[in-house]
Amino acid sequence: MSTTTTGIELVIGGMTCASCANRIERKLNRMDGVTATVNYATEKAWVQAPAEVAPADLVATVEAAGYTARVPQPAPAAEAEPPDPTRALRDRLLVAVALGVPVVAMAMVEPLQFRYWQWISLALAAPVVVWAAWPFHRAAWSNLRHGEATMDTLISMGVLSAFGWSLYALLLGSAGEPGMTHPFELTIEPSVGSANIYLEVAAGVTAFILAGRWFEARSKHRAGAALRALLKLGAADVAVLSPDGTESRVPIERLHVGNRFVVRPGERIATDGVVDEGSSAVDASMLTGESVPVEVGPGDAVVGATVNAGGRLVVTATRVGTDTQLSRMARLVEQAQTGKAAVQRLADRISGVFVPVVIALAVGTLGFWLGSGAGADAAFTAAVAVLIIACPCALGLATPTALLVGTGRGAQLGILIKGPEVLESTRRVDTVVLDKTGTVTTGTMSLLALHPADGVAEVDVLRLAGAVEDASEHPVGRAVARAAVERVGRLPSVTGFAAVEGLGVRGTVDGHEVVVGRAALLESSGIALPDELTGAVREAADAGRTAVVAAWDGAARAVLVVADEVKPTSAEAIAALRRLGLRPVLLTGDNRAAAAAVAAAVGIDAADVTAEVLPADKLDAVKRLQDEGRVVAMVGDGVNDAAALAQADLGLAMGTGTDVAIEAGDLTLVRGDLRAAADAIRLSRRTLATIKGNLFWAFGYNVAALPLAAAGLLNPMLAGAAMALSSVFVVANSLRLRGFGSAFPERDRAADPVV
């Protein structure tokens, strides 16, 4: 069989509990070469299958198990809001409540037990048991045909048993006699000779469980709202420019790579691209969590779905459709939500054997109480309570709902979690390795200082040196030219330009022979440096910065200091990482002086700086820390960081970096702000804590409730209410993650929940 596998997503229908998901997963995994994960909360399956296995084969396998499946189709950008998935449940719930409340009232309030009240209760309860509870009966029958038992089996058995016993008592027993009362017993007592009816149990349990299912479905729908909002960010149409300059509005699906399109103020940028004409401020807060708009101009990259907050832009499309950053974000979030953490797999295995064990326990409870002489009514009450209380649904919801909400909230904050297994890694990490260039620093050279000689004006230095460097492609020259344009404006033209490799540049500007470069270049031209400029060059070298000297007309005029500038938020981010108990380590290929200067600026200890590291040695640096017993997180953005990101116990890739680095990372930080790394670890740890809290409640609920039910201390109707509330509690607890906020107030304001 071919070793080439493809990833296929399926939308699953008909699941009602975690046992259903386990059953579908087992069926799919029995296919040759197929590895499948089925998520009950998202109602999706993620399948890795050999190339020769067609999606139709997977769909057929799911349908053979008694469920529905389909391959999701991409929806048009302007598609209307899908129908409410909770409406059918709501309609059944309303009928169950309207008919069930009188049944419960008559059973529990003696003054309402008028002549033939039992027959009125039967007439009201029958539609509840038959129609409102039909989804449970249908699922139970479908599972029975395949030799399986799920939560619906327990509910259907409990409801039908209560209704069937009541029917028997009314037709063949003494419960139908006029004037017979119906005691509401919470404890086992001997039968008093007249058969009790349990119509209120059949109707009440159905209503309670439908209410739980409705709240659960509604909460799950809300939990996925963040991802749906993310997918809606894209533009529906775009103004495309033809080669002759005419403009036409077309659907976004017709936009191709290389097309030029117009973005007016207030419009969303249709797709990823590069600005050709115009300048503006772009609001990317919905994608990155960054509150401050970014200034863009010709040559700058822009991301689809961000908002043009200023002037008119003409953009050339570089990525369209599923290749855009928005689509990749959505894909990563969906895959993370579909996956399962190790702790959830344990819960799934327990859920898979739980239902048969509960049925056996219910039968054993019935036999025990009959054998002890408690009477058929008491024995039946205890057995039905066991069936109804033991729903494993909360176990199945514990992890996926928390993961669904946590990853959705992360997407709003510009944090993409690749999979649930990442959550465990964040808990154990104690060391974070930071690549310097592009992570702690901007990765772009900039002019930090200018030291003119006595009597020389800064504006003259910038105008002449900037004009010569404007013709250079060297990063140092670009930094000088950029600063000159910002401070002086339009630069004069240069003639006779020449670049001296490794040393600098020379040319003629406004009749002046200008030389800009290292001191060695000036010495070769017979130009000496005065002591004041020599001292400035030495200070720059000691600080790990690059110093170039500007000279014209045969005399040295100024020293310009250039360096890769530290990001303004890096020091704040390092402090936040320390508060999380992490030891920051700086890793760079730069010289020791430059590395030490950056470390001092952001608050990293000198002992935790590793400098002059070749790209191939970054992997070894991570391994050395791991060999020391440390659990290592790595933050990087370049191709040369990819191996180290993959080797680290937790890889955090800057979304502003290369695709290779992003693929190698476990967490992607959509924007290049190191503070997002601290937020990502906080969010992952909070999500993991929520999962564990959910599982503790779900396990504790069953451990405590089952003995009470078996001992006859729990009325079946109360058992149904408790079971429904356990699932609602787990989902509601997960929804609290929607309120997770950044540790940095200005980021949090920019990333308020969109739903």
3-class SS shares of the chain: helix, strand, coil, % to 5: 50, 20, 30
Residue 164's nearest CA partner among 201, 194, 138 is 201
> Cα–Cα distance between 584 and 225 in angstroms, integer?
35
d(CA 694, CA 138) in angstroms, rounded, equals 29
Residue 435 annotated in active site: yes
Rounded Cα–Cα distance for residues 596 and 165 (Å): 81
Closest CA to 306 of 752, 753, 658, 671: 671
Hey, what's the torsion of the CAs at 334, 340, 344, 350, to 10 degrees?
110
- Note every long-range contact of 722-725, with CB atoms under 8 Å and residues 24 or more positions apart, other chains counting: 722/389, 723/208, 723/209, 723/212, 723/388, 723/389, 723/390, 723/391, 723/393, 724/208, 724/209, 724/211, 724/212, 724/213, 724/215, 725/212
C-alpha distances in Å from residue 264, one per residue of 106, 290, 310, 315:
67, 21, 8, 11
**Please, are residues 214 and 86 in contact by the beta-carbon 8 Å criterion?**
yes
Set 272, 435, 637, 641: catalytic member: 435
What's the one-letter identity of residue 165? W
What's the CA gap between 576 and 677, in Å, rounded?
9
Which residue shows structure tokens 């399948």?
Answer: 47
Our measurement of the distance from residue 312's CA atom to the centroid of its chain's CA atoms, rounded to an integer in Å, reads: 33
Token pair 């790595």 is found at 634
| Residue that the structure tokens 């890096």 belong to | 570
β-strand partners of 499: 505
For residues 220 and 400, what is the distance between their CA atoms, to the nearest angstrom? 10
* Phi-psi map region of 240: left, alpha, beta (phi>0 left; psi -120 to 50 alpha): beta
CB atoms within 10 A of CB 425: 20
Q: Is 256 left (phi over 0), alpha (psi -120 to 50) or beta?
A: beta
Q: Report the chain's C-alpha Rg in angstroms.
A: 34
Helix (H) / strand (E) element for 16: namely: none
Measured CA to CA, the distance from residue 337 to residue 410 in angstroms comes to 12
For residue 7, list its beta bridge partners. 48
CB 692, CB 376: distance < 8 Å: no
> How far is the C-alpha of 291 from the C-alpha of 18, rounded, in Å?
40
Q: Give me the count of residues in the chain.
A: 755
First to last CA, the chain: 46
Which pairing describes strands 431-435 and 632-636: parallel, antiparallel, or unpaired? parallel
DSSP 8-state secondary structure symbol assigned to residue 649: S
Q: Is the distance from CB of 161 to CB of 349 less than 8 angstroms?
A: no
Single-letter amino acid, residue 252:
I
Separation between Cα atoms, residue 77 and residue 64, nearest integer Å: 34
3-state secondary structure of 308: strand
Residues near 434 by Cβ (< 8 Å), separated by ≥ 6?
440, 584, 585, 586, 587, 604, 635, 674
Could you give the residue numbers annotated as active site? Answer: 435
